[in-house]
Amino acid sequence: MAVEKTVAAVVINTLGITGSRNKLDTDSPLLGAIPELDSLAVVNILTAIEEMFDIIIDDEDVSAELFATLGSLSAFIETKL
């Protein structure tokens, strides 16, 4: 759960999400549901996550499925720890 909270904070801070939209949970959809989440934002989020967790995310690991929900992104990060 700590990983998911940290990933949620990275997504919210990187995208500059404010107000009622800044609450993300496991089932929160990401790609296609958040207008601010474009290709540049994906790169920025991945870079921030790599720095936060001291991991390396390979290009071939990045996919639409990875960014389907906060839960899918968090689960992937947990496999890298």
CATH code: domain of residue 28: 1.10.1200.10
- Which residues on neighbouring strands pair with residue 29, listed in sequence order? 69
How many structural domains are present in the chain? 1
Which pTM was predicted? 0.91
> Are 74 and 1 spatial neighbours (Cβ–Cβ below 8 Å)?
no
| pLDDT at position 19 over 90 | no
For 22-49, the pLDDT digits (tens) are 789 999 999 999 999 999 999 999 999 9
The Cα 62–Cα 64 span in angstroms is 7
Binned at pLDDT 50, 70 and 90, residue 58 comes out as very high
Query: What amino acid is encoded at 47 in this protein?
Result: T
**Helices in the chain by DSSP H: which ranges?**
2-15, 39-53, 70-80
